[in-house]
Structure 1
């Protein structure tokens, strides 16, 4: 993308570079130390606030239902 002629991408060059960055797998990103840190523990208060701002109460309800199903196992 960086070497494409300027007329190929024109005004979309910045967007193309962004998509390239998003699609690139990073090997220098920090990783978790314990697998347990990946376990989903349900919706956080921040998620609840976000769902409220997005006017998506059903999304929060679905998360709470999923969290409840996980604790029954």
Structure 2
């Protein structure tokens, strides 16, 4: 799996103390996935050791195994 990061997502990862390893885990082993459009998904997961509820990564699929992370969120709620 190849993961690319937008500049916005890198800023949010730094702001929210989310590592690239955590994003890889969220995308490869999610607790759930929500389709937003044909190529955009929200992957989310509860990570051990974090107290900020679900962590989510919003991605756009660029090709079969290439994801671009466009933002990351904390305290994500599934509705």
TM-score of the superposed pair, with normalisation by structure 1: 0.23
TM-score for both structures, normalised by structure 2:
0.21
Higher percent of residues as strand: 2
* More RCO (CA 8 Å, sep 6+): 2
